[in-house]
Structure 1
Amino acid sequence: MSRSQADKAAIHEQIVNLAAERFREVGLNGIGVADLMKEAGRTGGGFYKHFDSREKLVEEALGCAFEQRRTKLEKYTAPGSTLSLGDFVERYLSEQHLNEPGSGCALTALVNDVARSGDSIRGLFTEEVESELAVLASLLKSKQPAKKRAQALLVLCSLVGAMGLSRAVSDPTLVAELLATGKTLLKAVDA
């Protein structure tokens, strides 16, 4: 790869990583191409040297966010891991995750935006939901596949809902209550 191709690839990766973070922070429509490129230290006109369309950027940014998430989840599914569903729930419903959506789970951060997106973006999101469900199912004790799937669905829906509501409400007492109740109830799912 020539130096100019390597430079272009590095710039492309920088833009995708920044978009993955910023979209989780402000939503898919919360930042425009010009502002994103400016934050990346690039001109808006340079965008089309890297992407055919804004939708292609969104697809790549979601792919990047999902890959980052999968990397974080590997510790739960690694051979010999002693991490439990309780550990997963504690981490997901933590104040750190609450306060750092840009590095958090894209499912919670972008669920409403993706619901209004096209088929390709919704397809990527669907794949990630299944990936997250597989991780959750691997942490559950049940030996019955249908029960394990139902429990994983319940946990994922509850995690995304509790975190989404916690980010949306303005009352700190209610936020604490949502997170604490979510932790207590979800840990009991597999008791």
Structure 2
Amino acid sequence: MSRSQADKAAVHEQIVNLAAERFRQVGLNGIGVADLMKEAGRTGGGFYKHFDSREKLVEEALGCAFDQRKTKLEKYTAPGSTLTLVDFVERYLSEQHLNEPGSGCALTALVNDVARSGDSIRDLFTEEVESELTVLASLLKSKQPAKKRAQAMLVLCSLVGAMGLSRAVSDPTLVAELLATGKTLLKAVDA
């Protein structure tokens, strides 16, 4: 790869990584292409040297966010891992995850935006939901596949809902209650 191609690839990756973070922070429509490019230290006109459309950027940014999530989840599924559903729930419903949506789970951060997006973006999101369900199911004790999947769905819906509501409400007491109640009830799912 020539130096100019390598430079272009590095800039492309920088833009995608920034978009993955910023979309999780402010939503898919919370930042425009011009502002994103400015944050990346680039001109708005340079956008089309890297992407055919804004939707292509969103697709790549979601793919990047989902890849980052998969890397975080590998520690739960690694051979010999001693991490449990309780560990997963504790980390997901943590103050750190609450306060750092830009590096957190894109499912929670973007669920409402993706619901209003096109098929290609919803397809990517669907794949990530399935991936997350697979990880959660692997942490559950049940030997019955249908029960495991149902429990994994309950856990995922509860995690996304508790975190989403916690980020949306303005009352700190309610936020604490949502997170604490989610932890307590989800830890009992697999007991």
TM range (shorter): over 0.9
Percent identity over the alignment is 95
Query: How far has the Cα of 1:99 moved from its partner?
Result: 0.1
2: distance between equivalents of 1:10 and 1:72?
A: 23
The ranges of structure 1 where at least 4 consecutive aligned residues each deviate by more than 2 angstroms after the TM superposition are: none
Matching residue of 2:77: 77
Instruction: Please report the TM-score for the alignment, with normalisation by the length of structure 2.
Output: 1.00
Pairwise CA distance, 1:186: 0.2
- Mapped to 2, the partners of 1:65 and 1:132 lie a distance apart of 13
Q: CA deviation at 1:11?
A: 0.1
- Asked if 1:32 corresponds to 2:32, the answer is yes
Distance apart, 1:167 and its partner CA: 0.1
Corresponding residue of 1:181: 181
Q: Distance in 1 between matches of 2:127 and 2:36?
A: 26
1:112 & 1:178 partners in 2: Cα distance? 19
Offset of residue 47 of structure 1: 0.1
Measured after TM superposition, the shift of residue 178 of structure 1 is 0.2
Partner Cα distance (1:182, 1:86) in 2: 11
CA deviation after TM superposition for structure 1 residue 37, in Å: 0.1
Residues 81-104 of structure 1: CA distance to partner in whole angstroms, max 9, x if unpaired?
Answer: 000000000000000000000000
| CA–CA separation in structure 1 for the residues paired with 2:148 and 2:18 | 36
Q: Match of 2:104?
A: 104
Unaligned runs of 5+ in 1: none
**Structure 2: which 5+ residue stretches go unaligned?**
none
Map 1:134-153 → 2, pairs under 5 A? 134-153=134-153
For the aligned residue pairs, the C-alpha RMSD in angstroms reads 0.1
Instruction: State the aligned residue count.
Output: 191
Give the match's secondary structure for 1:190: coil
Q: CA deviation at 1:72?
A: 0.2
Q: Take 1:164 and 1:64, find their aligned partners in 2: how far apart are those partners?
A: 21
- 1:137, distance to aligned residue in structure 2 (A): 0.2
Q: Distance in 2 between matches of 1:123 and 1:82?
A: 32
- Cα separation, 2, equivalents of 1:47 and 1:79: 42
Cα drift, residue 149 of structure 1: 0.2
1:124-156 CA deviation, whole Å, 9 max, x = no partner? 000000000000000000000000000000000
Question: SS of the counterpart of 1:41?
Answer: coil
- C-alpha separation between the residues in 1 aligned to 2:189 and 2:86? 10
> 1:31-52 CA distances to partner (integer Å, 9 max, x unpaired)?
0000000000000000000000
CA drift of 1:116 comes to 0.1
TM-score normalised to the size of structure 1?
1.00
Structure 1 residue 65, shift from structure 2 partner: 0.1
CA drift of 1:30 comes to: 0.1
Structure 2 distance, partners of 1:167, 1:121, is 23
> Cα distance, 1:14 vs. partner?
0.1
